Chain A
């Protein structure tokens, strides 16, 4: 049950710099922790994030075990045309 919160200004003037804020629900289990019996808790993290603006990639990030749970990513882009933003999170255990 993955849920995400995305904050994008609904409207912007041509050429405006807009901030895009994303919050994705994920446990981000590091893979470095052990249970009480000594067994390793397997790594389960998001490894890649990308944002496409009308099909063109405008932001990409690689994520690593040191990221907190429910990673919050904010970045800027220039509003060039009306269109759709497509976000993709991909990670361990086929998370997508």
Chain B
């Protein structure tokens, strides 16, 4: 009896909500065509893929099992490259959350609307420039022969530093320039979250005698915590994407040992011999790691911050 009732309710629900499902259908189809079907391409990671006309290649290519993975992990440089990727990516993720957070909190305290908007726009602008352009600008700015930064250092009597050619300075350059370029984006997310905080909480806190710092710690930060968690979780998915465009435009053989990341390494490897299979294997490896990390962080966010993204 009870079961029948439940079935009825689903039926009734469908009757009531079917237009929504119809509206959802196109995006589901698109998702299936562009996200699910191509996933069949994963088989290339386990094949010695030789194209022979569309999907026929999947059936005619030779199966090699885990050979490609063994080959990649067996390369002497791969451990260095993996380490570089992790270090650079983690530093970028952390700095990429902290800096915009502080900026957003500071901007939020500013009452001059014109100044606030202007700053917000100026900080956001680099986000829209490509690394090809910014790379050229950075190479000029950081140049040891007449770059603006080294001239400034020279004014204080310091020897010029070849920032992009020194293994000790390349990682900080990568992280700082990435944060400089990208921090506007997260800052806008945090600013938006800040406007969503109920103003009456601040009023109540003031009545209770809370200062700026206390208001910030007890109202502002908890208020935007969900967004911070969201940005972190999404960021973790990128842990193996240390930024191909950026690194490719700024590195050189002299700093390979500290700045070569998985993507640039595979790019150089695959340049000569259309290595479809190897790049698929690397892509699969990266995706699996990202998947695990996203799932874990999603669980952690739920457990510790009691926050659900989905």
* A associates with B: no
B residues at A contact (CB < 8 Å): none
